[in-house]
Structure 1
Amino acid sequence: MTNNQPIFRALADPTRRDILLMLRGGEKTIAQVAENFDMTRAAVKKHLTVLSDGGLIQVRPKGREKLNALDLQGMAPVLDWLSFFDAFWDHRLAALKTAIEKESK
Structure 2
Amino acid sequence: MSAADVPKAPGTLRLLPWTTPEGKPCYLSTDSEHSRLSLLADDVEEAQLGSGEQVLAGARAVLADAKAGERAVRFALTRAVESLGDVLRIAASRGRRIRSEDTAPHHG
Q: Verify same fold: TM over 0.5.
A: no
**Counting strand residues as a fraction of each chain, which structure ranks higher?**
1
Q: TM-score, normalised by structure 2?
A: 0.35
Higher CA-based Rg: 1
